[in-house]
Amino acid sequence: MEIKMAPSILAADIVNLGRDVQMVEEAGAEYLHIDIMDGHFVPNLSFGPHLVKRLRKTSKMFFDVHLMISEPEKYIDIFAKNGADLITFHYEAAENPEAVLKLAEQIHAHGIKAGISIKPKTSAEVLKGLLSAFELVLIMSVEPGFGGQSYIDDVNEKISRLALMAKEENPNIEIEVDGGITADNIHVPTAAGANVLVAGSSVFGAEDPKAAVALLRANANEAVK
């Protein structure tokens, strides 16, 4: 599957956000990863739907909205209306498989893509039988809540297992990995089967974010050659 880069604006300079988004758009990044935190599902706060609405006016990028929130059903509609192209919620924020499927339907009703995410300690097997309801599965490679953490190597096996499950259940599903990805380790999740790679600090913390996107992409492509 085509490798896609998803810079996370959590690490961008929020007082120059328009400039930073333009930079990664010009660098050819396919997805703009927008982290939404509620101070409840995760111990941190970030952005709300208004930011998505405002960014939608300035950017044509594909908006990859990662909801790290409890009760995602309350906010899916507003994020969709404000311009999300993909909304990913957490398996851990839904109560049971029926609730998971209902949330996927709620997202699809807006004509956009739906993603399901699992935290580092949640096993891939909880998603058995659910993958066909989604266009993307997001595997967290850090505990959600903060940028700038180190990649947890234990998730590599989970990525491989999910890639195998996906082959059987939904071969077109995209596999996204999020947290602690750098130019030095991006080959690891990519070789395990991920095709959408999120990178916050390693893009916006770099002196030249455009060059950082290019290097990350080159190293990821090298891993699947």
CA dihedral 181, 159, 224, 216 (to 10 degrees): -10
Please check whether residue 152 is in contact with residue 181, taking contact to mean a CB–CB distance below 8 angstroms: no
Considering only residues 118-157, where is the footprint of ligand DX5 by CB under 6 A?
142, 144-149
Q: Shortest Cβ contact with ligand DX5: which residue?
A: 200
CB 115 within 8 A of CB 36: no
Q: Which among Zn ion, ligand DX5, none contacts residue 201 (Cβ within 5 to 8 A by kind)?
A: ligand DX5
Site for ligand DX5 in 172-191 (CB under 6 A): 178-181
Per CB under 6 A, the segment of 78-86, 91-99, 108-116, 200-208 that binds ligand DX5 is 200-208
Place of tokens 């594909």: 62
Amino acid at 47: F
Q: Which residues bind Zn ion (CB under 5 A)?
A: 35, 66, 178
Beta carbon nearer to ligand DX5, 79 or 105:
79
Nearer of residues 72 and 179 to ligand DX5, judged by Cβ: 179
* Residue 78 identity: I
Q: Which of the ranges 75-83, 90-98, 162-170, 195-203 carries the binding residues for ligand DX5, by CB under 6 A?
A: 195-203
- The edge-to-edge listing of strands for the beta sheet with 113-118 is 4-7, 196-199, 174-178, 136-140, 113-118, 86-90, 62-68, 31-37
Check if 178 is active-site. Answer: yes
Nearest-angstrom CA–CA distance, 69 and 62: 21
Show which residues are catalytic. 35, 178
Give the binding site for ligand DX5 (CB under 6 A). 8, 10-11, 33, 35, 66, 68, 142, 144-149, 178-181, 198-202
